[in-house]
Amino acid sequence: MSSAPAPAAEGAEAPPAKGGPKMIILGAVAGLVLGGGVGAFVIAPKMGGGAAHAAEATDEHAAAEGDHGPPAATAVHHIENLVINPASTNGARFLLVTTTIVAKDEGAAAELKDRDAEIRDRIVTLLGSRTIEQLSDPATRDVLKGDLAAAIGALFKEGTVKRILLPQFVIQ
């Protein structure tokens, strides 16, 4: 019998490297710090700060267009989740749309709210007359917004409707 150690059997674990537990703790701390950073800078703005960021973006967009009046968020009328059957689909396809109408002031926004049914009718009529091809082309989206502004604006005094936004536009 020899006093030399026997060779390690296959599948046997090698002895732990120097500083094993310290490296595990250091790795865990680094993972927590990295996870906290990702959470703070990537996930948190999407969860809570999204509305504030959207309001800032709207204000910046209005300033870029030369509109120096009050923020658009104070004089708007929302029409949410209208379901429309586009032309030539025989009810097999639909458009789900949310429309935001930016009014000149709070009084105009109140008038828009009072005539909500008429506005909805104009939106359904206009969008329902368009085909899927016309609605799905992103290049014509600004033309569509202009047509909606003209159709809705015809119900009110000139200048009541400043612009139309389409924050939700889903074709199925």
Q: Half-sphere exposure of residue 16, counting CA atoms within 13 Å on the CB side? A: 7
Q: In what order do the strands lie in the sheet with 95-103?
A: 76-84, 95-103, 161-171
Q: Beta partners for 98?
A: 168
Interhelix angle for 116-128 vs 106-114, to 10°?
70
pLDDT tens profile 138-152:
999 999 999 999 999
How many whole angstroms separate alpha carbon 165 and alpha carbon 68?
Answer: 18
pLDDT tens profile 34-44:
665 555 555 54
Residue bearing the bigger pLDDT, 49 or 36: 36
Note the pTM of the prediction, 2 decimals: 0.58
Domains of the chain: 20-69 (no CATH), 75-171 (3.30.479.30)
How many whole angstroms separate alpha carbon 67 and alpha carbon 70?
Answer: 8
pLDDT of residue 52: 40
pLDDT of residue 21: 73
pLDDT tens profile 104-131:
999 999 999 999 999 999 999 999 999 9
